[in-house]
Structures are given as C-alpha cells and as structure tokens.
Chains A and B, each alone.
Chain A
Amino acid sequence: MIQLEDVSKIFESPLKQVEVLIKITLEVKNGEFIVVKGPSGSGKTTLLLSIGGMLRPTSGNIRINDKNIYLLSDRERTKFRALNIGFVFQMFYLIPYLNVLENTMLSGGLKDIGTKRGKALKLAEDLGLSDRVMHRPSELSAGECQRVALARALIHQPEIILADEPTGNLDKENSSEVVRILAHYHQNGGTVIMATHGDDADKIADRIILLNKGEI
C-alpha cells in the first residue's frame, strides 16, 4: 500500500517559489494500476519521483507498506528503492555504452550476477529483444529502447513500477506494446502508477487521477 498524506513540494529559486504539489492525499492499494493525468507542469513527474523516494516532499508523509520512506537514511532508501521500485521514464535513460543485456542488468536490486543474467535473458526474450541483446541503445529503435527500460525496471521483480510518460516518445504500436507489458505485470500482482498525457492505459487502469496545478 502506498499512502500519501498532505504531501506538498515547493521548488525554490532565487527569484521565486514554485508549488508543484499541493497537499496531495492519496492511497494506492497493492496491485492497483493507477493512471495519473494532467497537463505539462501539473506535477506528475514530481509526484512519481516523490513516491519513488527520489524527491523529498517539502511537507507531508509518504508511506509504502507502512514505512515512511523519508525517515529512512539515504542509504536505506536507496536499498529500499533497489528492492521494491522500478522506474520507467519517457526518455528511456539507457546507459549509452552498455548493450541491452547490460542495461537490463543495471538494477541494484539483484546481487547475484548469474541470476541477473538469466533473468535478463528471459526478459529480453519475453519482450522481443532476444536478437538485440548485444546491441547498444544507439542501434535500437525508440520502441526497443523503451522495452529495454522496462526490462531494467522489471528484472528485480519490484512491488511497484513508476512509469513517467513511458509512451511519450513512441508511436501507437509501440505505445500499445508498452502498455501491454505493464498490464501483464499488473495482472501478476504488481502495482503500477503511470503518468501520461494520452489515453493508452485508460482501459486497463483501476483508477484515473487528474492532476492540475499540483492538486488532485
């Protein structure tokens, strides 16, 4: 269960203060598929990064399975994230000098290299990347890159996937494929929170949350 209690996030600069999230209260049950929609600048990315332990809220609490993740030390939170959370971003953020297999194995959640490699190869096969495992990101299409990013997020079988506009750079066909993969993960009991502009995932979402100017 993910619980947000009055979570606010303010970004401060020398010239101004920007309130990106305003008193967000939200509960996400285990195994739910939540779609977060809103215009650019509404706070979707900030919300996902906060839930993922990457962005400390200015105020409020965020609990995952009754654990207040921002009361953990940085090291503990890193470890928590490694074991429990998988991120998928619009820009993929693959390491350019690593091949598909190595990018997939990048997750810090699994220590045993043998296990990691086996899982990475299996995932590559499941995601239609078997013949591309030795290719670098520059040699892949956008759709293939996003599937690699998904594989990286899934390899350690996290409880939660946080996907920030994963279809934003993809065509319709690849977007559908990404949503299918997330749906499959959800069907197997995983929790998904997906930020998006489009309606790709509306049909499979348990809930759709509209975010506007930092408020639900």
Chain B
Amino acid sequence: MQATLALEDGRVFRGKGYGAKGECYGEVVFNTSITGYQEIFTDPSYCGQIVVLTNPEIGNYGTNAEDNEATRPYIEGLIVREFSRVSSNWRSSQVAEEYLEQFKIPVLAEIDSRALVRHLRDHGVMRGVVSTLETDADKLVAKARGIPKMDGTDLAKVVSTKSTYVWETGERSHLPDEVVGFKDEPARFHVVAYDYGIKQNILRKLRGEGCKVTVVPAQTLAEDVLALKPDGVFLSNGPGDPEPCAYAVDNIRRLMGRQPIFGICLGHQLTGIALGGKTFKLKFGHHGGNHPVKQLHSGKIEITAHNHNFAVDPDSLPQSEVELTHIDLNDGTLEGLRHRNLPLFCVQYHPEASPGPHDSHYLFKDFVKMMEEWKG
C-alpha cells in the first residue's frame, strides 16, 4: 500500500502504508526515544499530532495490555523508517500493526525519516497530512495548510475524561506476579487529579506512593475539587496550547495555597500562567527520553523524558514568589519551578517516564512529603 506525507511548506515524502487505510492530519513532531513506542502511541499529549520516531526499527516487540498510557492510541498518525511485520517478546499480545489498524491509525513507513527530522529541526514543526488514498502532492499540501494551527487551540478539554472516576491500581512490574510477588500499599492520601490528558503511569505512580486518586474533568471547578476533601491536587500533562485554557488557570489560582499542588507538563505550563508567567512555542519542541535536566539547588543531573512543544518563559515569572528548580542543559529552557511560600511545585518534563528513564521518580515522593507536612 503506497502512502504519502505532505507538509504545509510543500515538502513531500512517499513510502509504504501500514496500519489503517485512510488519511490523518496534524502537527508533525519527532520523538527521539529508542524504546517505548506503545506508550507514545497512547499518550494523550499527542492528540492532534503525527509522530515521527527517529528509531528506525519500530514494532519489534509488539504491543501488550500493560504498557498503555490510555485506553486507546492518541497519535493521529505514525511515521517510521521500518515497521516490523512481526513481534517478538514474551509479553507481546498483538503485532503493532494490527493494534494501530484496529484504532484506524495510518502508518507511513520506509521513508527517509532522518531527512524528515532534519527538515523539522531546521524549519520547525509544521502541519502535515499522511494519506494512503490521495497521491497528488498539491492536493495534499493544500489539505495540510487547511489544518487548524496547534497554537491557540485548547485540546485539553477535548481529551479529558467526561466524568469523575477513582483510580485503584499501582505500578506493576513487567515480570509476571509469580516471579515478583506484588500488592499495593493501603492508600494514605487522597489526591484529586485534573485530567488534561493524563497518562496512566502518573496515576500508577501516585497510587504506588500510597495515594487514592480521584480523576476529574479538565473544567471541574476548584470548589468542587475542594469538596472532595483531597490531601493534594495534581495537574496533569496534556496536549495543545496552554494559553487558551483560561478555565484551568483560573481554577489553579483558586487552589493555590489551599491545597498542596503538583503539576506535570501542561499542568506546569498552566501553573506558570497562573503565577503570572507567559508561555511560548518551541521551534520543534522536546520529545524524547534522553534530556539532561539539572536540579538547580543540588546541581545533580537527571536524564528525563520530555514531550512538550510549549515552555514557560522564566523571565516572565515573579522572582519574589517563584523559585526556578530545574533547567534543561541542552537549550537552557525552564523545566521546573516551585512557589517560595505556598505548597506548590511542578515540572515541565515527565517524572512518570513511561517511556523514559526513572531518574525523576523522587518527585512523587516529594509530593507525598508535601502533603504530609501540609496535613501536619
């Protein structure tokens, strides 16, 4: 099956189509993680984006029931160099291609994906179309230009849960339980998590640290959150531009100081705005599992998982209230902050990893500590 990618600037790549027949539209971004394609497929933060994976061999270990970050894939489309027709791994329950086909996600493979990545690096992320139906370049480019821009769109409320639910299960080892006996600790804290597109591993981590988690829709009012009598509030990751999510910013403002707050990714950006800061769009974003992030107070480095196109401008933040806690060593962008007097901290990157290194798991412990102290 022949497939074509057309970018809004007119560049076209032709290759083979896998997965679903059809067409998909979105902002084309690249991710440099070597492992974890299944987690990437199912990360709601990728809503509205077509993902290019720089690892040329994708699908090798298939897909399984445990490694999903959501109940379905959120990427609009997938672009790779080589897409494995078979899977080989003791945990694999389905070949990657079948999995994507089942959810109608088209795959473009066997193109010069490195050339595409270099193009995006030099010219910035841009809108694109992957089609297995249309081959005419001009038509496709026109379609690409017709796609609504990511900047200014609120996707959080699109992907957010429509109803409140409680999350019960903690982290599981990838080994069968008979190899490692495992059971969850009894929950000691109650966390209300705003779902702007939350990854399940965040929920697993929180539960693993002894928190019962109530997940609420993105637009839930601060009052309704407080009514749930939480010990802390969590602000999740999510897709799209933080700027238009005024409702979220407003709720965060009203929760600040009244509850310990921990935010990740979009949650961090929204907090930044709530604190009076500004966000801006990065040329081609950070998407990968190898970014060095420095803890400013200790000087220690964490290798971290990233997935963001926007960032908070540190100079826009009120120095008096806000302490910058983490920066990215590759480009110096802000990766974490805390409030000087209120129980509030957040990071731009993904301590829950999945996929990615586990160096930053400590942040979940910090959150629990913060809740303990708040409880007194």
Partners in one complex: no
B positions within 8 Å CB-CB of A = none
A positions within 8 Å CB-CB of B = none
